[in-house]
């Protein structure tokens, strides 16, 4: 007996696939990457069957490749998702995201009195706990957590 497989979300010729996203985080990933304003195809699948997660989300973005900073943003929100770069319908690169040790320029300090919120000083954070996501500001030493994190968009 032959087993049939089908693509639930169609393939893209060139672009990026973000796979294995926890279902409750799909729209947060879309938001932090600014995909609401992207003017080419963005294919979103959510609550798809997954052997790894049970259910998962997937985002396919046509003709878009992400910077290291973008990948770091995704890792902070949804660690260990898979980023796949597609070229001519073929996988060019595939890797799991990891939370970096240091973050610069895209997370806003939770301390309203921090110099980064008062002047044009780029933010800098050390990641002190990757499992529970805890960041320490380089300037004021205030902690930012998963519950208080905000991104510069």
Q: How confident is the prediction along the chain (153 residues), in pLDDT tens digits per residue?
A: 455 565 666 789 999 999 999 999 999 999 999 999 999 999 999 999 888 889 999 999 999 999 999 999 999 999 889 999 999 999 999 999 999 999 999 999 999 999 999 998 999 999 999 999 999 999 999 999 989 999 887
Fold for the domain defined by 102-145: SH3 type barrels. (2.30.30)
The confidence score (pLDDT) of residue 103 equals: 94
In this structure, what token pair is assigned to residue 27?
């729209």
Architecture of domain 15-96: 2-Layer Sandwich (3.30)
Residue spans of the domains in the chain: they are 15-96, 102-145
In degrees, rounded to 5, the angle at the alpha carbon of residue 126 between the alpha carbons of residues 124 and 128 is 155
The confidence score (pLDDT) of residue 133 equals: 94
């Amino acid at each position: 007996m032959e087993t049939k497989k089908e693509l639930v979300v169609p393939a893209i010729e060139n672009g990026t696939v973000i796979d294995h996203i926890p279902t409750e985080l799909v729209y947060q990933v879309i938001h932090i990457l600014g995909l609401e304003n992207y003017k080419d195809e963005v294919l979103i699948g959510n609550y798809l069957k997954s052997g790894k997660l049970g259910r998962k989300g997937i985002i396919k973005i046509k003709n878009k490749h992400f910077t290291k900073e973008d990948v770091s943003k995704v890792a902070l929100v949804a660690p260990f998702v898979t980023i796949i770069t597609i070229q001519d319908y073929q996988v060019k690169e595939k890797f799991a995201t990891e939370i970096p040790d240091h973050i610069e320029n895209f997370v806003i300090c939770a301390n309203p009195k921090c110099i980064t919120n008062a002047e044009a000083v780029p933010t800098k954070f050390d990641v002190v706990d990757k499992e529970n996501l805890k960041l320490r500001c380089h300037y004021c030493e205030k902690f930012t957590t998963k519950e208080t994190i905000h991104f510069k968009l």
